[in-house]
Every structure is written in structure tokens, then in C-alpha cells.
Structure 1
Amino acid sequence: MRRSASRLPRILAAAAVPALLVVAGCSSGSGSGSGGGKDAADASASSKTAKASPSVTPAKYRTLPDACKIIDSKTIGKLVPSSKDKSGTAGTSTDVNAHGSCHWNGLKNKGVDGSQYRWLEVSLQRYDSQSTIGSGDAQASKQYANAIEVAQTTSGAKSVMTHPATGIGSQATTITYTLRKTGEDFSYATVVARADNVVLALTYNGAGYAGEKSPSVSDISKDAVSAAKGAIEVITSGGSGSGSGTASPSSGSSKSSSPSPSKSSGKSSAKSDGTSGKKSGAKPSGSASPSKKASTTG
């Protein structure tokens, strides 16, 4: 009995060791759980940061010039002699700071010596930067490409030629072709140009009547390029904004809003013959062919 009594303290001490290990293990697990909660919170914060909307570069121009004032009267007098209205006919727009257009036409009647008809149209489209669809420049680049395709796919066009126009805005392209209308061969030139977030499409065409020789595509193209260059310079020169004949560059982030469609030109127009291409960069305002009378309308 003495021997059993002396062993009892040792047995109890040995039994206590596993119990202590169990307690220590529980304590360690509790600390690990606390650290896991912190890691989860950090991961959640990181996820929220990753989901934040990406920023886009603000659009450079926040307004558009008046489309009817973007080409000076001297140029109008040269390109459209005997113009019905030298101040131009403006297209309908629901937002003049997003899109605008204007056209001029005239028939220079020389009686028995024949007549010369000319049509000039300019269309402007501006894009704002938006985080959901990209920068104003990126959107304008897409519209620039669309407007070129519209001109290239003009219904009935022949001898279509496309080549770059240097020294005009951020990028520019000239598309030339001939089109048979009212028994005459019309010479056409469309210049599509982009100045950062603004796209310009200028179309110029003409034909001779009653024995008068039609202008060459080369001459029409040369005049169209010159007019487009002057119009782009008005846009890039800056100014007080719409209605003044100049575009207004943004001093900071522009208000993010996409251009609202107008009744006549929701997108940039690249044609003025009343036909549409495969992709419509705009609803073109049709250039009517002149009748044999001097009272022709556009």
C-alpha cells in the first residue's frame, strides 16, 4: 500500500501534461483565427480598390464652333459662286455643342454659255470622355474611320480614290470619286479630319451644265482640302465656344455626357448626295442635283 501511495503523485503529474498541451493548442488556434479576420478585411478592401472605375483622359474640346461660321465668307465666295445664302443653311441639332452641320449651294448661270453648280457641306461631331466607353479621342477615332467608310461606299460612285491629307488636325483623309446625276458627271471630294475629340467631314462637289465642262476631281479635291484645313484651324485655335465660330478647349475634366442625336445629323456626315453607306457615320443631308433652272435648291 505504501508503494501504491507513493506512485500516485507521479501518475497525476503525468496525466496533467496532455491537458496543458490541449489548453495551449486551443490558445494558439484562437490567435490564428484573429489574424485570419484581419487578412479577410484586407482582401475585401483590396477587392473594392480593384473594382473602382478607371479614369479616362478628359476630352480636349468641350464645345463646338458654329458650323455655318467655320468657313470664312471669302472661301464660300470662291467655292460656291452665286451661293443662295452665303451665311449657309444650318442643319437641325438638339445639342449644338455635340454636333452641327451647315451647307451652301449655288448655280452660276451664264445663259447660253452654260452653268456651273457647286455644293459644299460641313459636319461636326464632338465626343466627351466617359469611363464606361472610353476617352473622347478614342470615340472620335472610331467615328473618323466610320465617316471614311461612308464616303468610300457612296452608292453609284465611280473611280473612288482614298489618300491621306497631311497637315490637317490629328489625322485626315481625302476620298474622291465621280457620280452621275441628272445626266451630268459630278466631281466629288470628301475630307474627313479629326482634331482630338472632334471629327469634321467636309464634302464638296460640282458639275457643269448646258455645255459647260465639269470641274476636275483634282481641282475639287484641292479646294476641299484647303477649306477643311481652315475649318480645323478654327477648331484648334480655341475661343469662347459655340456660336462664336471657334471651339472651346477644356481646362480640366469635361462633363461626361455623350452627344445626343439630332434630327438630321445624329452622327458625323461624310456624304451629301442623299445616299447612305454600309455604316452610317451620320444621317447625310442630301445634296440635290440642280435643275436646268437657276432656282435649284439643295
Structure 2
Amino acid sequence: MRPLSAAADDRHPADDPITDFVRREVEVDGVVKTVYADGSGPAVVLMPEMPGISPDVLRLARWVRDAGFRVYVPSLFGTDGGYPTVERGEVVVRRACVSAEFRAFAGGGTSPVTAWLRGLARQAHAECGGPGVGAVGLCFTGNFALTMALEPAVIAPVVNHPSLPLDDPAGLELSAPDAVAVRERVDRDGLTVLAYRFAGDRWCTGQRFAAYRALLGEAFDGRVLSDTAANTDPPPFFRETVGTPHSVVTAHFVDGEGHPTVRARDEILAFLAERLLQEAGAGAVSRGGTRRS
């Protein structure tokens, strides 16, 4: 799916022009997609949440970049840099749900777009070097970070509030063969999968985290924040359409010293540093303010 065009009359005052990233066209197996990249160091692929590469997603990308990584943000849906209004969001969700690249509902298996994302990770690793690549998924792309671990270069998967399949709160957006292959990779290489959700999130429930735990065992580090930690004034799409605490380090993030969402962000950056920078003491991951699920 190509990004929706950002026509002049579709701009919102809060849109992000993305002027500090290099816009590239990346080809994987004959499929070309736009990718925004910046920074230096080991590669981290940061995938957007619904309804696209929003200013909040770009804020997270800048935090990753400034922590010592080269971050790659692929455009998978929506208006690049677009502020998530209700109108924009509903259009993007409808299109994504019928796109051949995504498997939004139960029984669909693994989304085909993850094969392209694994190719992006291979290219990013070749460009950046280092021990491997980090993969950070958000919402609609949350589970993609896990599926990307089928690529050997991906060694630091972070699964944030995975929402797929939309119609099965206990389901995982994985085909049966891919589920087996992921578990084998985790066991063989000793990977840990870091994950976050809010306790009352209706799109990423405790049942879903339980399904991850059943598949991955102790390799699944699922952390749950209280609903009271969520930003109470997120952009309209999240307030009116999502309608529940959901996006821990983006739309429902609260930028305050010692805040649980700030600790979650810092834990993610520390997780990436431990696995990709390999520096002594580079981020013992704090567990303050969260609980395992």
C-alpha cells in the first residue's frame, strides 16, 4: 500500500514536515516503499502505528536516533507526518483492513508486508553494521516486530500494544508455521521480546499478552501500565476512535519526569542499547512502575 498523498488542502497545523530525516525509496524484491532515515549507529526499524507516521511517532523516532542509532521509519499507510484526526484515521483504517499487505482479522495469518520489512532490516544491517537490528512495532504494526525476528539480523524486537487481529482479543497475527519458526529462533538465539500495553486497552488485552507468553515462554517480557498513566488529551483519532488508553510511548505518552510512560520509553531505549550497542552497563532495564504479564 502506498502512502496517501498529502495534498496542500489536507495539511493540518500540527503536521510534521519531517525535514530532519532523509526521504528514500527502498526496493525489496521489486516492491518500493518510502523510508525516512536519520542518525548514526546500529539500525533500528521503527514502524508506524495507525493512522500513519504521526508527529508522535516521529518524536519517538527522534528519541531513538538521539540515543545512538540510525532509525528507519517506513511509510506503510496514511499521510506521512500527518496529525491523526478522526477523518484521516478512519479512511486509513478502512484501506488498511482491505489491503493485500495486511492481515487485520483472525485467520489471516502473517501480514505479507512483514516480508518486505525483513528485507528492509537486512539492507539496514548491511548499511550500518553492528551486531544486528532493532525492530519496534506500534499498534497495527506491533506484532510485526516479532515476525521480523524471522530475519537473523533482527536481534532486538519491541512489541508495543499490538492490535491485530482486530476481531480476536486472544489472537496473534501469525501463521502457524511462522509461530513455530519464531519460537525456534527465540530458543536458538536466546532472544527476548519486550512488550508494552495499558491495563485497560481493549485493542491489546491481557488475553493477547497471555497468548504471547504461551508461545514464547520466559522470553516474552510483557509490561503493563496502569490506565491512569495515559495522556488524557491525545489527538482526536485516539480520543474518539481508539477510545481507550493504548499508545504507551506515542499518543498516550506523558512527558513528565519519573512518569510511567517516560520510564517505558527509557526501558525501550535501554533494551535496544543492551543488544545493539553492547556497551558495558548500557542500560540495565528498569522495571519501576510496570508489572509483568
Report the TM-score when normalising by structure 2: 0.23
Larger Rg computed on CA atoms: 1
Q: Choose between structure 1 and 2: higher strand proportion.
A: 1
Q: Under a length normalisation based on structure 1, what TM-score does the superposition of the two structures give?
A: 0.23
**Greater share of helix:** 2
The structure showing larger relative contact order (alpha-carbon pairs under 8 Å, at least 6 residues apart) is 1
